Each structure stands twice: as C-alpha cells, then as structure tokens.
C-alpha cells in the first residue's frame, strides 16, 4: 500500500478527528487516543487522493469515442435526433429516432437499420433507461451519451444504420411492458397486451415488421387486420439480466438470443449486476440473429465480464456461414427436409422446465408439441432431468440481489476495471422516487429494499456460498449438455398478459409477472446461451375469459453449451424446416 502527501490543501478541507471516530464507530471499534493522529494522517492522504482525481478533466476512452465527431457541438450537428409523436409511435416502442451512419463503412449490415435498447449509449442521444429524467441526473435532464457502446460502434463499422433507441422498462428491471415512464409498450398482435420486458420496445418494433410481412403473405398464409403500421426494423440489440431478450421475443413472436456470458461486450450499457449482464441480437429471422451476432461478438479490451474464452474480433465465428454450410451439407445428402433435417441432432427436453409455477396446460402442450417436432425431423429426442433447475431462480436471487440496488439505481462502479457510463449521475433515492416507482415499477422498489436488507443482514460468506451454487448449477446444465446438443424449455408460463389497470396496487402488478423468469433467469448466472423462437399461438384471455378470434405468440427456449451458439442457431434452423412457427 502506498502512502503519499499532496501539498496545497488547506486545513479546513481535511478530514477531522470527529469524522475518523465516526468511521471507526460504524465498525464498532474505538481507536486509542495515542494512535488517532497517525490514522487521521493516513485517512487524510486517502481523502486527498480521491479529491485530486475527482478534479481531473473527464476522460473518454478512444475505443468508445464516436467516430468523426469532435465535441458536444459536433455531436448535436452530426447526430440529430427526434422524439416521435404519438401518432407516429402507436406502440410506444420508439424512445428517440435518428439516422446515424459511419461514412464509408460497409459490411454485413450495409443497408440495414438497427434499433438499440434505451439503456445503451449512443453518442449524442439521451439515455433514459425507461425511467424519469430526475432520477438520472442532478439537473433533472436526461443525460446525453458521450460515448458509443462497443456494440453500437460495431453496428456502425459493419455498415449498419442506427435508426434510434427503443423504449425499455423502467430501470430495465421488469418482465412485462407496463413500467416505462413514457407509458406501456403495446404488443403489435393484440394492442393493450404486454410485449414482455425489459427489451420491450425492441420486440414491439420487430414484431410490427413481422406482422406486416405476414399480412402481405410474405411469411405464411395469415391474413391479419390492423397491420398497417410497420417500424421498418428487422434487427435490434436487447439486454438480458433475467430473460429480458427472450421473454419479449416469446411474447412478440420474434427471435431473441442471450449469448454466452462474455461473448458480446457490455461496455457502455447500464448494468443491473455484472454477473448477469448480457446483450444480444433480436430479429425477425434466425439468419438475421446469426448475422447480427457475428457483428456484436468478440473482445473489446474494456469489459471485465469477458474471459480468456472470449474470442478476439478476428476470431469471431461467421455464424450465418456455419448455418448455410450445414444446410448445404444436408441438402447434398437430400436430408434438408421435414423428415430428415434433424438427423444427428440430440435434443434434451428439460423435465423441470415443465414444472415451473403458473405454467398453463395450454402453454405446456404447445411447447411440448413443438419440441416433439424434432422427432419427426429425424433428431434424437429424450427427456432429461436437472433437479437443481427448480432452485435456479433462488440461486439467481441470492447471488445477485444483495448488490443489484446500487448497480441498478446508482450506476455503481464494479470492483473490476471497466468503463462505467460517464453520463449517468443519479441523485440519491427519495420519497418521490418511491411514490413513482411503486406505481410504475414496484419490482424496482423491491430490488432496492431487498438489496439493502440482504446486504446488511447476511455475512459475506453467504454471498460466497451463493456463488458456489451458481457454479453447481452451471455444472448441472453442463452435465446434461454432455449428453445432448441442446436443451428445450418453454420460455414463459403463459402468453402475454394484458397491461394492468391504472388502479392496480403493488402486489397486483407484481403478480402479473409471477413465474415469468423461472426458465430464463438461471441461465443468466450460469452463462449458457439461450434463444427464444416462435413456435405457435396461445389463447388470449381477459378477466379469465378466452377472447374469441385473438391469439398471441408462444416461444420455445433452446439452450446450448457455453460458447456454442452455432448449435443453438442450427437447432432453430432445423426446427423451421418443418415450417415457420407462426404460420399455423
């Protein structure tokens, strides 16, 4: 440990002996009077070091600085944005719209527009994280991002156009879509129902495009009413801490992949907890998931979530080529057919995935029938049991909740070196925060209260024990995946529910999402790749009664070995040889 002296600081700016005693008292200790002077000197040295660093000019890492832009004036000029009017934003899916390109860039995303979840940094645009401006900056304004998140830079470098930021749930901490400060995000298939969260706006934009295509007969034989609004978005980037890519994908009938933990950099994105932070592709097709994943993946030199297994950028797999080559190989054998495409694939039906709370009989049947399609495709299909899966949500909670509050609401800096969002400077939580969150997103109040309570009640050894059980759960899934290429579960226990009435209280709102993440959140702490694909339609209900003539999409989750996204994507492609999941 280094001890040093910084000259030029007056006596009144220094730590007092009373402050030293207060610090000691919080540890239930009393410093002997003979040692007080020495420890006061040391404490002053530490305080002066932090004060000095706090006065240094802000630093923007060159790897995150927006290309071709100089200063805030340049940002405003080169990256104008708009807040869409309600009539141009019928699903409340857009947060801000823009048209950002990198001049001269060309690549796999050339000519493609991409929506970015609004907890991700897009330099020059406000970042809202789905909440109120007063909770993100002392001035009460939405912070303007000074950096491009690593994944945003990669989209631009690949020739893509950033079309805007998509609304996300309040603090990115809700599994439904009623919580944004700007109001609910609507499901394009049945307005007034959830798209799922927290990447709700991304899912709604994609589903609107898919619905329009289907109404025109481009992706099935359906004839759909109310399909006149199209976002023009076929690609989006979502975030996932407990299911926030997969749940909205399932509810909205699109595709969403939570990659292996550490495959895609999370740098420049608001965190909920570094152990479970993921970002990944959402799209209207499996192929587009593959294309976008190859653009996003790979080491960025900044994200401490990345591991020695994370590939360097030049080593990132061409996932679309892998899919195409495998399909061509099967076609050469005349096996890329509804009766043979699955040959060689081993599929495990995760027994406990059908035992989660609130799973309806209809959902259980639809997804089990979808999983059984692999049999008709020629794959080997067996049931497999991972008993610890039932404890997965509890392990997820115990391992992450004690620290989630500071990360989620205060932009806390992780202990490992990284690059926290420089523009976010949330003021302390106050009574107004409680009142607004209790109505908009009571789940976030629960996060804050339980985070404070658990971190004060339980010893650090309890956290260490919870982490050990994360590794136990990871090993349990790994053991099952030694026998199978992929595992299958339902994504959600029900189809999307209706948005709650405004008079609903805290528990009424919380109950709507009961069991929603039971099959998704375990893989956020174990890090396995997991993807939702659309596999059918479920009944829509209102006040417990089925609404005739209305249906909502159903998603199936495909889980793979860590760092084996290609097999997850291949399994999805194989399944669709038997037909597009929403065409029935």
pLDDT tens string for the chain (584 positions)?
A: 565 555 555 555 689 999 999 999 999 999 999 999 999 999 999 999 999 999 999 999 999 999 877 666 678 888 999 999 999 999 999 999 999 999 999 999 999 999 999 999 999 999 999 999 999 999 999 999 999 999 999 999 999 999 999 999 999 999 999 999 999 999 999 999 999 999 999 999 999 999 999 988 655 444 444 555 778 899 999 999 999 999 999 999 999 999 999 999 999 999 999 999 999 999 999 999 999 999 999 999 999 999 999 999 999 999 999 999 999 999 999 999 999 999 999 999 999 999 999 999 999 999 999 999 999 999 999 999 999 999 999 999 999 999 999 999 999 999 899 888 988 999 999 999 999 999 999 999 999 999 999 999 998 899 999 999 999 999 999 999 999 999 999 999 999 999 999 999 999 999 999 999 999 999 999 999 999 999 999 999 988 899 999 999 999 999 999 999 999 999 999 999 999 999 96
Do 28 and 82 belong together in one domain?
A: no
Q: Quote the distance between the C-alpha of residue 289 and its chain's center.
A: 15
Q: Kind and range of the H or E element at 246?
A: helix 246-252
Residue 357 makes CB contacts below 8 A (sequence gap 6+) with: 493, 514, 515, 518
Cα–Cα distance measured from residue 395 to residue 526, given in angstroms and rounded to the nearest whole number? 10
524: three-class secondary structure by DSSP: helix
Looking at residue 3, what is its pLDDT? 59
Cα–Cα distance measured from residue 400 to residue 39, given in angstroms and rounded to the nearest whole number? 35
Within a domain: residue 17?
A: yes
Do 49 and 107 belong together in one domain?
A: no
Do 22 and 87 belong together in one domain?
A: no
Query: Which residue of the set 113, 145, 150, 198 is catalytic?
Result: 198
Do 368 and 431 belong together in one domain?
A: yes
Within a domain: residue 152?
A: yes
Task: Please tell me what DSSP assigns to residue 498.
Answer: B
Q: Cβ(557)–Cβ(519) under 8 Å? A: yes
Do 354 and 462 belong together in one domain?
A: yes
197: closest CA among 226, 165, 172, 229?
A: 172
248: closest CA among 203, 284, 185?
A: 203
What is the Cβ-side half-sphere exposure of residue 314, based on CA atoms within 13 angstroms? Answer: 0
Cα–Cα distance measured from residue 123 to residue 62, given in angstroms and rounded to the nearest whole number? 13
Within a domain: residue 584?
A: no
Do 30 and 151 belong together in one domain?
A: no
494: three-class secondary structure by DSSP: coil
Is 502 noted as a catalytic residue in this protein? no
Do 283 and 154 belong together in one domain?
A: yes
Looking at residue 218, what is its pLDDT? 53
Cα–Cα distance measured from residue 234 to residue 184, given in angstroms and rounded to the nearest whole number? 22
Token pair 């009989």 is at which residue?
361
Contacts of 445-454 with C-beta under 8 Å, sequence gap 24+, read 445/506, 446/510, 447/171, 447/173, 447/401, 447/404, 447/405, 447/408, 447/409, 448/405, 448/408, 448/409, 450/401, 450/405, 451/401, 451/402, 451/403, 451/404, 451/405, 451/406, 452/405, 454/401, 454/402
Neighbour-count burial of 334, counting CB atoms closer than 10 A to its CB (0-12 exposed, 13-18 middle, 19+ buried) = exposed
Per the structure block, which two tokens stand in for 277?
């932070």
Within a domain: residue 434?
A: yes
Q: Cβ(296)–Cβ(237) under 8 Å? A: yes
Residue 283, strand partner residues: 235, 255
Do 19 and 166 belong together in one domain?
A: no
436: closest CA among 171, 43, 204?
A: 171
Residue 97 makes CB contacts below 8 A (sequence gap 6+) with: 81, 82, 83, 84, 163, 164
Within a domain: residue 62?
A: no
Do 82 and 41 belong together in one domain?
A: no
Do 38 and 165 belong together in one domain?
A: no
Q: Cβ(155)–Cβ(237) under 8 Å? A: yes
Looking at residue 198, what is its pLDDT? 98
Do 269 and 404 belong together in one domain?
A: yes
Residue 202 makes CB contacts below 8 A (sequence gap 6+) with: 93, 115, 117, 166, 168, 236, 237, 238, 248, 282
Looking at residue 226, what is its pLDDT? 54
Greatest C-alpha distance within the chain: 87
Per the structure block, which two tokens stand in for 365?
């049947």
Q: Cβ(484)–Cβ(346) under 8 Å? A: yes
Do 225 and 344 belong together in one domain?
A: yes
Looking at residue 250, what is its pLDDT? 99
Q: What is the CATH number of the domain that holds 294?
A: 3.90.1300.10
Give DSSP secondary structure letters for 261-298. TTSS--TTB--S-TTT-EEEEEESSHHHHHHHHHHH-S
Cα–Cα distance measured from residue 159 to residue 260, given in angstroms and rounded to the nearest whole number? 25
Token pair 């690609």 is at which residue?
235
Q: Quote the distance between the C-alpha of residue 387 and its chain's center.
A: 26
Within a domain: residue 566?
A: yes
Is 244 noted as a catalytic residue in this protein? yes
Overall number of domains in the chain: 2
Within a domain: residue 25?
A: yes
Within a domain: residue 412?
A: yes
How many CB atoms sit inside 10 A of residue 289's CB?
30
Is 34 noted as a catalytic residue in this protein? no
Query: Which residue of the set 215, 244, 271, 463 is catalytic?
Result: 244
Looking at residue 319, what is its pLDDT? 99
For residue 522, give Cα distances in angstroms to 16, 517, 527. 48, 8, 8
Cα–Cα distance measured from residue 507 to residue 197, given in angstroms and rounded to the nearest whole number? 18
Domain that holds residue 339: 74-577
Looking at residue 12, what is its pLDDT? 54
Query: Which residue of the set 117, 153, 258, 561 is catalytic?
Result: 117
Three-state DSSP string of 105-169: CCCCCCCCEEEEECCECCCCCECCCCCCHHHCCCCCCCCECCCCCHHHHHHHHCCCEEEEEECCC
Looking at residue 77, what is its pLDDT? 87
For residue 62, give Cα distances in angstroms to 69, 72, 81, 146, 265. 12, 15, 23, 11, 16
């Amino acid at each position: 440990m280094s001890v040093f002296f910084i000259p030029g600081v007056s006596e009144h700016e220094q730590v007092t002996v009373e402050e030293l005693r207060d610090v000691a008292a919080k540890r239930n200790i009393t410093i002997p009077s003979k040692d007080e002077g020495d420890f006061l000197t040391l404490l002053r040295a530490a305080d002066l070091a932090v004060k000095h660093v706090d006065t240094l000019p802000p630093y923007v890492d060159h790897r995150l600085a927006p290309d071709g832009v100089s200063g805030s004036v340049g940002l405003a000029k080169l990256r104008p944005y708009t807040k869409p009017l309600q009539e141009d934003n019928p699903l409340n899916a857009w947060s801000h719209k823009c048209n950002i390109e990198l001049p001269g860039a060309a690549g796999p995303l050339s000519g493609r527009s991409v929506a970015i979840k609004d907890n991700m940094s897009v330099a020059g645009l406000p970042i809202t994280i789905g909440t109120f401006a007063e909770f993100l900056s002392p001035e009460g304004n939405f912070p303007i991002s000074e950096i491009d998140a690593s994944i945003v830079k990669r989209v631009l470098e690949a020739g893509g156009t950033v079309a805007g930021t998509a609304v996300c749930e309040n603090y990115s901490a809700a599994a439904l879509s009623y919580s944004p400060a700007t109001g609910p995000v609507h499901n394009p298939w049945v307005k007034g129902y959830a798209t799922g969260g927290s990447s709700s706006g991304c899912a709604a934009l994609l589903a609107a495009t898919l619905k329009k295509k289907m109404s025109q007969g481009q992706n099935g034989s359906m004839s759909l009413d109310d399909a006149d609004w199209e976002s023009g978005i076929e690609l989006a980037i979502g975030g996932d801490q407990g299911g926030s890519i997969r749940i909205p994908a399932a509810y909205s009938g699109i595709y969403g992949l939570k990659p292996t933990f550490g495959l895609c950099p999370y740098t420049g994105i608001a965190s909920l907890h570094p152990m479970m932070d993921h970002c990944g592709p959402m799209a209207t097709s499996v192929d587009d998931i593959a294309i976008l994943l190859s653009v996003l993946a790979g080491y960025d030199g900044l994200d401490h979530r990345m591991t020695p297994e994370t590939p360097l950028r030049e080593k990132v797999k061409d996932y679309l080529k892998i899919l195409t080559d495998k399909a061509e190989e099967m076609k050469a054998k005349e096996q890329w057919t509804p009766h043979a495409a699955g040959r060689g694939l081993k599929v495990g039906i995760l027994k406990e995935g059908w035992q989660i709370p609130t799973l309806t009989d209809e959902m259980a049947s639809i997804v089990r029938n979808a999983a059984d399609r692999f049999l008709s495709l020629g794959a080997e299909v067996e049931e497999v049991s991972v008993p610890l899966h039932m404890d997965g949500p509890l392990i997820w909670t115990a391992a992450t909740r004690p620290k989630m509050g500071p990360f989620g609401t205060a932009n806390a800096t992780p202990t490992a070196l990284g690059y926290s969002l420089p523009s976010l400077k949330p003021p302390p939580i106050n009574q107004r925060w409680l009142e607004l969150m209790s109505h908009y997103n009571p789940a976030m109040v629960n996060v804050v209260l339980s985070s404070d309570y658990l971190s004060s009640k339980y010893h650090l050894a309890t956290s260490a024990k919870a982490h050990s059980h994360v590794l136990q759960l990871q090993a349990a899934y790994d053991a099952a995946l030694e026998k199978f290429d992929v595992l299958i579960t339902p994504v959600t226990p029900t189809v999307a529910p209706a948005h709650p009435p405004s008079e609903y209280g805290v528990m009424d709102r919380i109950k709507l999402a009961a069991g929603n993440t039971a099959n998704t959140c375990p893989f956020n702490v174990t890090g396995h790749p997991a993807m939702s694909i659309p596999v059918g339609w479920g009944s829509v209900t209102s006040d417990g009664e089925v609404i005739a003539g209305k249906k909502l999409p159903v998603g199936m989750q495909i889980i793979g070995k860590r760092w084996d996204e290609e097999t997850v994507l291949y399994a999805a492609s194989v399944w669709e040889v038997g037909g597009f999941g929403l065409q029935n």
